Amino acid sequence: MEPRRANPPRLFAFSTVDFFDALPLVLGSYLTFGAVHRRVQLLLGRLRGADAEAFRVYPHRFLADALAGAGPAASGARIVHAPRSGSLGPFPPSWAKCGWFFARPERLGEARDLLLAGAPQEAARRCGDEDPRLRIHLFTWSVCLRIWAHQLDAAEAMAHALAETLDDPAPARRLLAWVEARRAESLPGAAGADAAARALAHLDLLGPSLHATPAWSALPAHLTLLRRSWTRWEWVLFDARRRIEAAAARHPESPFVHRARGHLAAARGDVVQAADHLARALYHGRGEAPFAAAILSLEGIDAVRPLLASEARARLSEDPKIDTVEDGVLQSEAPQRDPTP
């Protein structure tokens, strides 16, 4: 009689059935750990400066500069005084000497007066068959004034009125996106996130033309990061990275791309990586104040990058202060406040 053979040793502790029974628990634990880890990052980001005003408010002067152009010739005294915003700073120098500020623009003077009086629909009708480029310039100037005066409802009405006078909706969409971006930066919580979503919808309709200039190209990434929340954090991470890379493909050394990368790193609570990206933004942005302010908004920056913090403070101290009207006051002389229809 042959001796009984011993059972071969088991190489695995679980049978196939046991493995598939445990798989959902393992995957669930892994996903839960990842979700908790990302939300810890989100909390650290808030504690380490990612919600500071220097990150929350985009460098809007550069958006305005990209839309500036030759306005009309004008004569007479300067009758419109540009506002200075507490959060946006002085009115953009690229627009500050525009002919629309003076008493007698060579063309569209009546439409300019109506815009200043808060009658955009009538102003659009008075434009008639005027050169579309000049109409766009006038309405863009007027929207820019209202944004700096924080009169966003008036700015939105002007953008809608411009849309009615043009065959191409792109210029009005760009202005509407700009207005909604300022709303997103100004409003807290869900209201701000909704405004950012509306701005992104307008910008996405612009297509490749959005990326023609570096500042506008990186604006969608900024707006996406304004939408971060406990429930949307994974989507915001994915969408922000996608939009940053889209801007970097067109403008690889743009300071606005480096700023967006720094903001994303700060939102994840990584001060060291954020400082590295913002150092590049400061360099490529030629030391402009918005990039320096973002560096100094990082908690603990003096400990991790003391030389960078010192340089940012020096850049801010050199930033020229332009004496203009403060905080939302839009002024014009009597003829422009109450024009004759």
pLDDT in tens, 39-56: 788 889 899 999 999 999
Q: What is the dihedral of CA 271, 272, 278, 283, to 10 degrees?
A: 160
Percentage of the chain beyond pLDDT 90 is 72
pLDDT in tens, 158-201: 999 999 989 999 999 999 999 999 999 999 999 999 999 999 99
182: domain CATH number is: 1.25.40.10
Q: Provide the 8-state DSSP code for 319.
A: S
pLDDT at 69 over 60: yes
Q: Is 171 contained in some domain?
A: yes
Residue whose pair of structure tokens reads 């550069």 in the numeric block:
62
User: Across all residues in the chain, what is the average pLDDT?
Assistant: 87
Q: Is 13 contained in some domain?
A: no
List b or e across 280-308, with b for residues whose CB sees 16 or more CB atoms inside 10 angstroms. Answer: bbbebbebbbbbbbbbbbbbebeeebeeb
| Between 291 and 328, the higher pLDDT residue | 291
Q: Is 28 contained in some domain?
A: no
User: What pLDDT score was predicted for residue 4?
Assistant: 58
pLDDT in tens, 233-269: 999 999 999 999 999 999 999 999 999 999 999 999 9
User: What pLDDT score was predicted for residue 37?
Assistant: 73
Q: Is 42 contained in some domain?
A: no
Q: Is-contact 82 324, C-beta < 8 A? A: yes
Give the pTM. 0.85
Q: Is 17 contained in some domain?
A: no
- How far is residue 100's CA from residue 92's CA, in Å, rounded to a whole number? 14
Residue whose pair of structure tokens reads 């966003």 in the numeric block:
152
Is residue 25 very low, low, confident or very high in pLDDT (cuts 50, 70, 90)? low
Token code pair at residue 96: 């500050």
For residue 94, the one-letter residue type is S
Domain that holds residue 194: 48-337
How many structural domains does the chain have? 1
Q: Is-contact 109 124, C-beta < 8 A? A: no
Q: Is-contact 251 292, C-beta < 8 A? A: no
